[in-house]
Amino acid sequence: MNKQTYDLEDRLLEYSVRIIKVVEQLSNTHAGKHVAKQLLRSGTSPYPNHGEAQAAESPKDFIHKLRISLKELRESQRWLKLIKRVPLINKPELLNNIIEETEELIKIFVASIKTVQINKNLSH
């Protein structure tokens, strides 16, 4: 397996870096600027929100923070697909990898939320 294994924190940091690089390539049109601001906000927020989840005060707070990250990842996924479809960058095929990573991160967050919910229910 050639793919480097990251812990989730490192993976989210790398994801934020990649989002910033995509944003820097967007066209300087009205649409490009609008999408850039939206993607920059949604695509970089899962990393700090994950940090907040790690400092959660309760399982309910933990789930809430994970759901915020999940919501932002889903929004980023939509922006990335829109950028590719328009296209708002010169080589839209280069987005395939980050779209795939977004989908994988979404699956990780969905599974994590389900696991915490199951464990929380078992403990009561």
The CATH number of whichever domain residue 55 belongs to comes to: 1.20.1440.60
Q: Give whole-number Cα distances, 15 to 18, 82, 119, in Å.
A: 5, 18, 28
Asked if the structure places residue 3 within a domain, the reply is no
Domain count, the chain: 1
Asked if the structure places residue 2 within a domain, the reply is no
pLDDT at 6: 59
Asked if the structure places residue 52 within a domain, the reply is yes
- Which domain covers residue 63, as residue numbers? 8-123
- pLDDT tens sequence across 18-42: 999 999 999 999 999 999 999 999 9
Mean pLDDT of all residues in 43-60:
96
